[in-house]
Amino acid sequence: MEKPYILHMLSPGRNVSPFDVNMACDAGFNVVVPYTGVELEEVTALVQDAIFSRGPSGAKRTGIFIGGREVGLAADMLEQARQAMVPPFEVSVFADPSGAFTTAAAMVAAVEHWLQQARGVGLAGRRVLIFGGTGPVGTCAGVIAAQSGAEVHLVSHRSEVEARKVADAYNARYGVEMQGASSATDQDRAAILQDAEVVMGAAKAGVQVLTAADLGHASKLMVAVDVNAVPPAGIEGVGVNDKGKVLDTTPGKAVGIGALAVGNVKYAVQQDLFQRMLKTDKPLYLDFRDAFQVARQHVG
């Protein structure tokens, strides 16, 4: 009798995500076991309990998923899990806190695709503003875009100081050079939008970060993407189903990408990465960088 595929889901929060549980089961894991309230220093013991109990062959049918909501903590837990392995007892680990890694990867891949389709350019050198940029999806999208050569500004509705603080922390962690900006007032938004070539809406569901009037200041805008599927739209004029639709509210006729267009790619990416864990003969350690490479294959 073949051993079942088991996925251990570690979360520092009170719950694991039902979305992630469903995705893991649909991808082919037979047993999914949640562990909540997991602290960083507990990861080593949990991982080693998982790897030593099934033998090297059984380890290939075992996986670990790291959830939660904090990008930095998930990255640290992933690294802690990697260090806890004792070859040949080694299993694959996939981190996707709050779905941020796969969502951000899908968002940036969609932007890259439509920049090429609509304007014949790539991300390198583009001025990118990420509204809701201090949250998990926004910071992760910022790192991916910055690693792709974009000039990234994380935008906070609270203050530029808050945005700079987050940008500096992730610059130090990933070796990029993101900047901070404020969208607290109409004047703030008008000023930062003047030279924006890409805008990303990554704020909380139901929060509108840009109005049609705001977009009127974005004369250089090429692409606007919004991951908010809950009314009102995060970026006014971008519909949830939009996929390269021209936005008449923008002076340069930028194209819009909606939440469901991004979500379809995110869904495919997460399924793909779970299935890679099931099929691989060698352990994988998957984060947003892997998710971005996979998203590029699914966008279009």
**Contact call for residues 74 and 17 (beta carbons, < 8 A):** no
The burial of 36, by beta-carbon neighbours within 10 Å (0-12 exposed, 13-18 middle, 19 or more buried), is given as middle
What is the structure's pLDDT at 27? 96
**Contact call for residues 80 and 44 (beta carbons, < 8 A):** yes
CA atoms within 13 A on the CB side of 286: 35
CA dist., res. 27 & res. 29, Å (int): 6
pLDDT of 106-141, one tens digit each? 999 999 999 999 999 999 999 999 999 999 999 999
The burial of 287, by beta-carbon neighbours within 10 Å (0-12 exposed, 13-18 middle, 19 or more buried), is given as buried
Chain centroid to Cα 179, Å, comes to 18
C-alpha distance across the termini of the chain, in Å: 42
What is the structure's pLDDT at 54? 83
Scan for tokens 């200041």, then name that residue: 217
pLDDT of 179-214, one tens digit each? 999 999 999 999 999 999 999 999 988 899 999 999
pLDDT of 79-97, one tens digit each? 999 999 999 999 999 999 9
**pTM for this one?**
0.95
Q: Which domains does the chain have, with CATH numbers?
A: 6-99+265-298 (3.40.50.10280), 102-262 (3.40.50.720)
**Contact call for residues 273 and 99 (beta carbons, < 8 A):** no
